[in-house]
Amino acid sequence: MQLVYMYMDSPVGALKLVAHDQALVAVMWDNEDHKRVRLAKPLEDHQHPMLQRVKKQLEEYFVGQRQQFDLPLDFQGTDFQQQVWKALLTIPYGETRSYKEIALQIGNEKAVRAVGAANGKNPISIIAPCHRVIGSSGALVGFAGGLDKKQILLSLEQSQIR
């Protein structure tokens, strides 16, 4: 399946959207470590219908008009990673969960560090809301886009639910 990509501007910087005809594959950061998410080489296509759909929904999210995404997702990772990434999709808008809570949710309470590693490799940032996962102390920890962007996303969501 041919992957396509485009960049979009956002309040958290440029985002690289990657998809194929059936689903979104990745939302990557402007300062992305190319080793974090490994994908086949995509072709640039600003008019691709899937990318346009993703861009529209992200724009709605950033202006507070969308709290849930309605997009087909194609997570590319190990079974364990996919289990963690699917658990991220259950975290409600404006709420957070700890790594331990995610580990418990997937039925493996001893896998806290593995959950953290999988969360860090989440290829579909923002839409699979890895920014909603925090340390057990409530501290903001680890985020591929940077902790400043994690704080922006959490603050955006908090401001919309009040």
Q: One of 130, 133, 144, 152 is an active-site residue; which one? A: 130
pTM of the complete model: 0.90
Q: What is the pLDDT of residue 162?
A: 58
One digit per residue, the tens of pLDDT, for the chain of length 162 reads: 899 999 999 999 999 999 999 999 999 988 766 676 777 788 889 999 999 999 999 999 999 999 999 999 999 999 999 999 999 999 999 999 999 999 999 998 888 899 999 998 999 999 999 999 988 777 777 776 778 888 989 999 988 775
Spatial distance between the Cα atoms of 154 and 73, rounded to a whole number of angstroms: 22
Burial 63-74 (b: 16+ CB within 10 A, else e): eeebeebeeebb
| Known catalytic membership, residue 130 | yes
